[in-house]
Amino acid sequence: MPNPIGKLDGVAVLEAESPPITDWKSKSLLQWHPKEGRKNLGSGIEGPADVAAARGDEGVLVAVPDLVKGDLYLIAVLKGK
């Protein structure tokens, strides 16, 4: 993975899909696609400290705890979006 990705923390492995990854450097949740590169899924997460993902009929629900703010972000990644 090229710059500016760095200080990665959580990775959720999903079959046949690009994994959601938390990145402390950019304070974000992202996906990495070998052909398309980085896709931002959420930003402004001060302390993106891990990631959990649950697949559903319409896509994937990703949970990211923010260790700095004490918040929990729930981000829906819909199929085809």
Domains, the chain, in order of start with CATH, read: 8-78 (2.40.10)
pLDDT tens by residue, 11-32: 777 666 678 889 998 899 998 7
Going by pLDDT thresholds of 50, 70 and 90, the confidence category of residue 1 is: very low
Long-range contacts of 3-12 (CB under 8 A, 24+ apart): 5/30, 5/32, 5/38, 9/48, 9/49, 9/50, 9/51, 10/48, 10/49, 10/50, 10/51, 10/52, 10/64, 11/51, 12/51, 12/52, 12/53, 12/62
